[in-house]
Structure 1
Amino acid sequence: MNRSFLYSLKVWLLMVIVAPLLHLTLSWLMMHDPEISLFDEIKKDYIIAADIVLLLTIPFALIFWFSVSSLLKNHAPHYVKQALTSAIFIIMGLAFFEMLFEKGTPSLTSLAVIIFPYAIAGISGIWLHELEPAGVEEEESA
């Protein structure tokens, strides 16, 4: 299978699975007087949050896959590719959230609760999953 597709899918799925958990945790921590426990909050809202993230980030995932695919065609060192992938993720994420909040001006805390979980999960996925060198795919097919 295409290594850029697998890598992009791994990063995107990590973001879709982990970011709603971080988002719900931060939201719960920002409440002045939480009436329910964090575990109950996650049980109640995780599936809805993950579904929303899944649907809203499909265009983002396709653009990320195309970017990684074109980046892998270059012959640059591995660390340069991961740094560029992180930069692409950040730029696309900021553009995505700008479109999401185009009509109103949210407060700084609501921005932090919304953006930080997805940025942390996405960049963690970029650095945790290995952006494999070209030789790996050729060795597997031989």
Structure 2
Amino acid sequence: MAASHLDPGRLGSHPASAVFAGVCHRRSSAEVRGRPDRVQALKVAAYSSTLGYIGHAVGVIPYVGVILMLVCSVASLYSLFVGNYRLMKIPQAQRVIATVCILGAAFFLTVLVFYVPMVLIGVIINILT
């Protein structure tokens, strides 16, 4: 179980993160002269996050699971990078910038929506007990 803390793709492990990533894809592709298509953005988010889900599933295997999780995380980032170019039609010169912006926005939204409420609930429970 301690190996799951090493996974860089753990942040996007919640299924709703794909929806947030789809929103981020659509907005960022419009900013870098890509195609702001909602369906294509959700495809990129789903394809790249599926590898993260597979990485978490194989993470329970002792020793080999950590390596497979890291491989799946790198493959997930690569599919996001390639998907921005192929599906969202983001120009090749701006793929790195778009990918970094998408990851930053997904990180911010995930922290805001999932982790901040958990901390607040924990503080409230601690005060009440």
Instruction: Tell me which interval the TM-score lies in, with the shorter structure as reference length.
Output: 0.3 to 0.5
Q: With a CA cutoff of 8 Å and minimum separation of 6, indicate the structure with the bigger relative contact order.
A: 1
User: Which of 1 and 2 has greater Rg?
Assistant: 1
TM-score (norm 1): 0.44
TM-score (norm 2): 0.47
